[in-house]
Amino acid sequence: MKLAQDQLDQFHREGYVFLPSAFDADEVGMLRRRAEAILKMDRQEVWREKSGVARTAFAAHTYDEGFKRLGAHPRLVEPVMQLLDGSVYMHQFKINAKAAFDGEVWQWHQDFGTWHRDDEMPEPRAMNIALFLDEVSAVNGPLMFIPGSHRAGTLEAGHDLESTSYPLWTLSRDEVSRLANEGGCVAPTGPAGSVIMFHGNLVHASPPNISPFPRTIVYLSLCHVENHIRAFKRAEWIAHRDFTPIRPMADDCLSELAADERRAA
C-alpha cells in the first residue's frame, strides 16, 4: 500500500494522516477478541491503571499470532517505509486500552522525545501508526493532535513519574498552549478499522475516558533500520533490540486467520 501525493503532502504539513476504515470488520473483530484476552492476562507486559483495569499491553506481536501478522501488515508497514524512505524495524508495539469509565489520561508529549532520551534513538526517523479496534468518538478519549507541531523539533520536556501508571516525558502547559494557539487542536474520530499515522515529534495527548464506551488502539512504532536505538535501559519488550527489517506479509494475512478461526469454531 502506498500513500497518494495529497496524503504525503498532508503528512509533511500537519504531521499526520487519517485513513478511515482501512481494515474490515472481520479483521478488526478477530484482533479485538485477541486484544480482550491479552488485556486480561497476568503478564509483565500488561500494565494496569491504579484502578486495576488494563492500560497497555506491550509486545503482543511476540506472543500472539494475530498481532504478529498485524506487525508485518502491508497496509501499515509499507506507508511508513515510504515516508521514512527505507526499511523499518519494530521499535515498540503496544495495545493501548482506555476502559469504559476508568481509562486514564495520556499527557501532552512527543514520542520521539521519549525514544531519544530513554533509548538514545539518534534522529526522528521513526513514527507511529495506529489502528482503531473500537469506534473512536469525541466522548471516549480520542487522540488529540496539534497539527504542524512536529516542525518545532524535539521540545524540552519533564519526566513525569507520578501522574499515571506509565512514565512519560511531558510538555509544559505554556509550551502546549503556545503550539495550540499557532496550530489549533484536532481529534480524529472514526469507526473501528481506521488508521492514523503520525510523526514521532507530533505533539499529542488523550483525555480520560469517563464514557461507558471502551476505546482500544494498537500502536506500531516503526523506526528506520539505520536509526536504531543505542541504549538498552528499558526492558526489551518495551524498546525492542531486534533491528531486523520487517518483511511485509500478504494483504490477506489477517482475513485468512479470521477465516481459519471461523472454521475452527
Classify residue 246 by its DSSP letter. Answer: P
* Grid cell locating 101: 469509565
pLDDT tens-digit profile of 197-231? Answer: 999 999 999 999 899 999 999 999 999 999 999 99
CATH number, domain of 105, equals: 2.60.120.620
Q: Model-level pTM greater than 0.85?
A: yes
- Phi, psi values for residue 219, rounded to 5°: -120, 130
pLDDT at 1: 85
Spans of the chain, pLDDT less than 50:
none
Q: Name the domain count of the chain.
A: 1
* Three-class secondary structure of residue 147 per DSSP: coil
Instruction: Determine the pLDDT at residue 102.
Output: 83
How high is the mean pLDDT of the chain? 93
Range of the domain at 157: 5-264
Residue 100 confidence (pLDDT): 87
Q: Residue 32's pLDDT is what?
A: 96
Question: Which pLDDT score, from 0 to 100, does residue 162 have?
Answer: 55
C-beta atoms surrounding 13 within 10 Å: 12
Question: Residue 221's pLDDT is what?
Answer: 98
